[in-house]
């Protein structure tokens, strides 16, 4: 069987190619064009030319275009097959997480868009004769730049909200996993949708930087370092920028938690896609009274995980390859640092296999402390540390002791666990479950602090791709009053009118006796 994927060619420059390697086998998975600045400029120019017509389409037409695309994605096995080949993740995750997410996102955002993007009327209180209509306009061309760990979920899927809001999109997928985006772009065109409304430019960081220089807004998912660079450039250009960056999500086990369930959930949330997930469990805090039992259950769950070279056609295994070789170096460095500072490896700790494939055993550390790199810096690989605590207040302080703030998990008695979650400094938290909050496309989801700016999902995730024009007109029935007021307020200024205004201000704005007596609660 051929290892290279027959991905549709994205029309790009002839100069330079980016080779894509299959991480599970080390073999060539495909090649894509390396778009230089001139080629990016051509793509953005086409997107700009297509923007007015797309903005003029009705929301129903845009929803229909996304539905047509979704139908084709669902019927095209090449999508999950390509994803498995270039990322090394199990077919279950390619299809059961990434394709599922795209479908649910299109459904949910299409449904929300009618209300979120609708015009609103707001009546000013002072000038009662006026009404203001808030009209939302698309921003123009949105550049979406994605990471390598989720070739659909954090790449093409991030085009959905800007497209629904009437923007055209140019996507720059990661150079490590660009092939799935090429397949999805081809399906967009095959679905009968306008080709320049959704384009893909492939290449490395320089291609992304060229895109940021030209578009009207940026949706970026990736590392904190690149996010800062892109946000700074967007600041210079005064264009909106949403950044979804790294995480160091805590998983807290309070006394009274269901330990079986917590251990099972910790195994999935720590080792999904070999730990290369931004909202995954990055560090575990367990109450000392239940820590031995939790570790025992957790290790037995991890020991049962089936790791294998993923077959693009499917297969029963839980862990595939590590997509990006650098993550294995991070894992090895963090294990060495933690061991030197007193941590113990409970399970795993080594590379697996002698072949060219990138495999690392799922690894659990015990006895972690906050002076270890593994508790403070993002791992983004198949390694998770466990640390014990005695007081909930201490666990809260430790969980919040990070420059990041993306996701968090709390296991414990429901009310107590929710009260704990409310005091976490994190964009989202989930109680007595893991990860599935990402599928709640109805709710905004984003990071605090260095984990990013802006959100995806929810009405908020749609409206951020529009700009507001506030159009004030007079209310029809009050037209005579409106004309009278306009005359009195404008030139020529009349001292008698000012005297009247002064009196009116005292009536309107001076605190009433009731307000003076009211105490802030």
- Residue 145 in contact with ligand NAD, rule: CB under 6 A: yes
Those residues with Cβ within 8 angstroms of residue 55's Cβ, 6 or more apart along the chain or in another chain = 137, 138, 166, 167
Active site residue 244: yes
Considering beta carbons, is residue 167 or 327 the nearer one to ligand NAD?
327
What's the min distance (Å) between Cβ of 53 and ligand NAD?
28
Which of 163, 245, 262, 343 binds ligand NAD (CB under 6 A)? It is 245
φ, ψ for residue 179, nearest 5 deg:
-70, -40
Q: Pick from 92, 107, 229, 237: which binds ligand NAD (CB under 6 A)? A: 229
Q: What is the DSSP string of 148-171?
A: SS-TTTTTGGGGHHHHHTT-EEEE
Cβ 212 to ligand NAD, closest distance in Å? 5
Give the residue with the Cβ less far from ligand NAD, 47 or 347: 47
Contact residue for ligand NAD among 30, 247, 348, 382 (CB under 6 A): 247
- From 226-234, 338-346, 414-422, 487-495, give the range in contact with ligand NAD by CB under 6 A: 226-234
Token pair recorded at residue 267: 């195994």
**Chain centroid offset of residue 102 CA:** 13
Contact at 8 Å (CB) between 208 and 247? no
For tokens 């086409």, name the residue: 46
* Residues 352-391: x where in contact with ligand NAD by CB under 6 A, - otherwise, as a string: --------------------------x-x-----------
Please pick, from the candidates 12, 90, 138, 147, the single residue that binds ligand NAD as defined by CB under 6 A: 147
- As measured in angstroms, the least distance from the Cβ of 101 to ligand NAD is 12
Kindly state whether residue 146 participates in binding ligand NAD, applying the rule CB under 6 A.
yes
Distance CA 464, CA 468 (A): 10
In what helix (H) or strand (E) does residue 49 lie, and over which residues does it extend? helix 37-56
**Edge-to-edge strand list for the sheet holding 120-122:** 120-122, 130-138, 466-474
428 binds ligand NAD (CB under 6 A): no
List residues bridging with 171 in a β-sheet. Answer: 144, 200
Instruction: Tell which positions 433-492 bind ligand NAD, by CB under 6 A.
Output: 447, 452
> Exactly one of 172, 248, 287, 388 binds ligand NAD (CB under 6 A); which one?
172
Distance CA 330, CA 365 (A): 15
Both tokens of 253, joined, read 């086990």
Q: Kindly report whether the peptide bond that precedes residue 492 is cis, defined as omega within 30 degrees of 0.
A: yes
In the complex, residue closest to ligand NAD by CB: 208
Stretch that binds ligand NAD, among 54-62, 218-226, 294-302, 483-491 (CB under 6 A): 218-226
Q: What is the DSSP string of 277-340?
A: -TTS--EEEEETTTHHHHHHHHHHHHHT--B-PPBTTB-S-SB---SSHHHHHHHHHHHHHHHH
Contact 109, 441 (CB under 8 A): yes
Catalytic residue among 244, 282, 361, 377: 244
Do residues 142 and 168 lie in contact, with contact meaning Cβ atoms separated by under 8 Å?
A: yes
Stretch that binds ligand NAD, among 70-78, 188-196, 224-232, 299-307 (CB under 6 A): 224-232
Stretch that binds ligand NAD, among 8-16, 35-43, 91-99, 139-147 (CB under 6 A): 139-147
Find the part of the chain contacting ligand NAD (CB under 6 A) among 77-85, 113-121, 170-178, 483-491.
Answer: 170-178
- Return the number of the residue (359 or 380) whose C-beta is nearest ligand NAD: 380
Q: What is the largest CA-CA distance in the chain?
A: 93
Residue with Cβ nearer ligand NAD (298 or 380): 380
Radius of gyration of the chain (CA): 27
Q: Closer to ligand NAD at the Cβ: 213 or 416?
A: 213
Task: Decide: is 34 part of the binding site for ligand NAD (CB under 6 A).
Answer: no
Cβ–Cβ under 8 Å, residues 255 and 287: yes
Known catalytic membership, residue 416: no
Q: How, if at all, do strands 409-411 and 430-431 pair?
A: parallel
Considering the complex, what minimum distance in angstroms separates the CB of residue 379 from ligand NAD? 10
Per-residue x/- mask for ligand NAD, residues 304 to 323, rule CB under 6 A? --------------------
Catalytic choice (234, 278, 361, 377) = 278
Three-class DSSP category at 129: coil
**Interface residue with ligand NAD, options 29, 40, 230, 263 (CB under 6 A):** 230
Asked if residue 348 lies in contact with residue 382, where contact means CB atoms within 8 angstroms, the answer is yes
- The residue assigned the tokens 């600041």 is 235
Q: Are 354 and 380 in contact (CB under 8 A)?
A: no
Count of all residues that appear for the chain in the document: 521
**Quick check: 175 binds ligand NAD (CB under 6 A)?**
yes
Among 79, 83, 102, 209, binds ligand NAD (CB under 6 A): 209
State the Cα–Cα distance between residues 200 and 183, nearest whole angstrom.
Answer: 10
Closer residue to ligand NAD in complex, CB, 163/406: 406
The answer to whether residue 12 forms part of the interface with ligand NAD (CB under 6 A) is no
d(CA 319, CA 304): 11
Map residues 249-288 to x or -, x wherever contact with ligand NAD holds by CB under 6 A: -----------------------------x----------
| Residues belonging to the active site | 244, 278
Instruction: Summarize as ranges the residues that interact with ligand NAD (CB under 6 A).
Output: 145-150, 154, 172, 174-175, 204-205, 208-209, 212, 221-223, 226, 229-230, 244-247, 278, 378, 380, 406, 447, 452
């Amino acid at each position: 069987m051929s290892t290279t994927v027959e991905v549709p060619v994205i029309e790009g420059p002839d100069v330079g190619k980016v080779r894509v390697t299959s991480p599970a086998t080390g073999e060539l998975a495909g090649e894509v064009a390396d778009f230089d600045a001139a080629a990016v400029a051509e793509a953005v120019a086409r997107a700009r030319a297509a923007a007015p017509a797309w903005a003029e389409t009705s929301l129903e037409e845009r929803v229909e275009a996304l539905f047509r695309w979704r139908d084709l994605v669902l019927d095209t096995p090449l999508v999950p097959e390509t994803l498995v080949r270039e990322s090394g993740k199990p077919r279950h995750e390619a299809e059961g997480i990434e394709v599922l997410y795209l479908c649910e996102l299109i459904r949910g955002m299409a449904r929300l868009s009618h209300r979120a993007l609708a015009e609103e009327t707001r009546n000013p209180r002072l000038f009662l004769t006026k009404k203001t209509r808030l009209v939302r306009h698309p921003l123009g061309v949105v550049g979406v730049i994605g990471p390598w760990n989720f070739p659909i979920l954090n790449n093409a899927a991030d085009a959905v909200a800007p497209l629904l809001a009437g923007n055209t999109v140019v996507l720059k997928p990661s150079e490590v996993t660009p092939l799935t985006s090429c397949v999805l772009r081809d399906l967009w065109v095959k679905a009968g949708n306008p080709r320049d409304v959704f384009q893909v430019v492939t290449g490395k960081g320089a291609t992304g930087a060229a895109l940021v220089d030209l578009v009207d807004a940026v949706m970026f998912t990736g590392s904190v370092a690149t996010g800062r660079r892109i946000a700074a450039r967007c600041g210079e250009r005064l264009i909106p920028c949403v950044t979804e960056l790294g995480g160091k999500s805590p998983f807290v086990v309070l006394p009274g938690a269901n330990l079986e369930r917590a251990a099972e959930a910790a195994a999935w949330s720590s080792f999904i896609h070999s730990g290369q997930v931004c909202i995954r469990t990055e560090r575990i805090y367990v109450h000392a009274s239940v820590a031995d039992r939790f570790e025992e259950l957790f290790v037995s769950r991890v020991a049962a995980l089936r790791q294998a070279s993923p077959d693009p056609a499917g297969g029963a295994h839980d862990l595939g390859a590590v997509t990006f070789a650098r993550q294995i170096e991070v894992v090895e460095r963090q294990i060495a640092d933690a061991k030197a500072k007193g941590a113990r490896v409970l399970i795993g700790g080594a590379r697996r296999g002698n072949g060219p494939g990138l495999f690392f055993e799922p690894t659990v550390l015990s006895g972690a402390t906050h002076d270890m790199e593994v508790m403070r810096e993002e791992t983004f690989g198949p390694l998770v540390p466990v640390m014990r605590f005695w007081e909930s207040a201490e666990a809260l302080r430790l969980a919040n002791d990070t420059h990041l703030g993306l996701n968090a998990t709390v296991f414990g008695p429901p009310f107590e666990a929710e009260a704990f979650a409310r005091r976490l400094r994190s964009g989202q938290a989930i109680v007595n479950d893991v990860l599935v909050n990402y599928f709640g496309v109805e709710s905004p989801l984003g990071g605090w602090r260095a984990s990013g700016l802006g959100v995806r999902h929810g009405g908020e995730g749609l409206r951020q791709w529009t700009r507001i024009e506030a159009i004030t007109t007079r209310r029809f029935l009050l037209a005579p009053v409106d004309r009278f007021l306009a005359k009195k307020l404008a030139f020529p200024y009349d001292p008698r009118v000012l005297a009247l205004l002064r009196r009116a201000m005292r009536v309107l704005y001076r605190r009433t006796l009731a307000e003076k007596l009211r105490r802030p609660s």
